[in-house]
Amino acid sequence: MYYRFILVILQLKINLFETLQFNIHPDRDLSITDIFSKHGYPVELHELVTDDGYILTLHRIPRGKDYNKSNNEHPVLMVHGTCGGAENFIIAGPGKAISYYMADRGFDVWLLNTRGSRHSRKHTTLNPDTDKKYWDFGWHEVAVSDTPSAIDYILKVTNKTKLFYFGHSQGSTSYFAFASERPEYNSKINIAVNSAPSCLLGDVQNLVRLMGKHSSLIQELGNILNLHEIFPRGYTELLNLVLKTLCSEMTFFVDLCYAILYFGNVYGDMEPTTPQFVFSKAPGHCSLKQLLHYFQIVYSGKQYDYGVEGNLRMYGTKSPPLYSFSNMTAPIALFYASEDNICPSKGVERLAKLLPNLAMRYKVPSNTFGHVDFIFGKRVGRLVNEPVYQLFKKYL
Q: What is the pLDDT of residue 69?
A: 75
Answer with the residue of higher pLDDT: 154 or 299: 154
Question: Which residues span the domain enclosing 125?
Answer: 28-394
Q: Which one is catalytic: 104, 269, 340, 373? A: 340
Domain contains 8? no
What element of type H or E holds 230? strand 229-230
- Report pLDDT for 198: 78
Average pLDDT, the chain: 87
Domain count, the chain: 1
186 vs 69, more confident: 186
Query: Does position 5 have pLDDT exceeding 60, yes or no?
Result: no
Catalytic residue status for 169: yes
Cα separation values, 299 from 82, 201, 216, 293, Å: 19, 8, 12, 10
Asked whether the predicted pLDDT for residue 17 surpasses 60, the reply is no
In a domain, 59, yes or no: yes
pLDDT at 375 over 90: yes
HSE toward the beta carbon, residue 319, CA cutoff 13 A: 6
366: pLDDT strictly greater than 90 = yes
Q: Indicate if 340 belongs to the active site.
A: yes
Confidence of residue 2 (pLDDT cuts 50, 70, 90): very low
Please report whether residue 4 resides in a domain.
no
**Cα 116 from Cα 96, distance rounded (Å):** 27
The whole-number pLDDT of residue 201 equals 58
Which of 25, 123, 168, 371 is an active site residue? 371
> Helix 147-158 crosses helix 170-181 at what angle (to 10 degrees)?
80
Write down the pLDDT at residue 67: 67
According to DSSP, the β-strands at 54-61 and 74-79 are unpaired
> Per-residue confidence at 18, pLDDT binned at 50, 70, 90?
very low
Local confidence band at 215 (pLDDT 50, 70, 90 cut-offs): low
53-82 pLDDT tens trace: 999 999 999 999 876 678 889 999 999 999
pLDDT of 263 reads 78
7: in domain: no
pLDDT band at 172 (very low <50, low <70, confident <90, very high): very high
Chain centroid to Cα 382, Å, comes to 21
Q: Is 222 buried (19+), middle (13-18) or exposed (0-12) by CB count in 10 A?
A: middle
The pTM score is: 0.90
In a domain, 369, yes or no: yes
Contact 280, 240 (CB under 8 A): yes
- Is residue 123's pLDDT more than 90? yes
Q: 169, 180, 195, 215: which is the annotated catalytic residue?
A: 169
> Where is pLDDT greater, at 185 or 229?
185
Dump pLDDT digits (tens) for 265-323: 767 888 888 989 999 988 888 999 998 888 887 777 789 888 899 999 999 999 999 99
State the CATH number of the domain containing residue 168.
3.40.50.1820
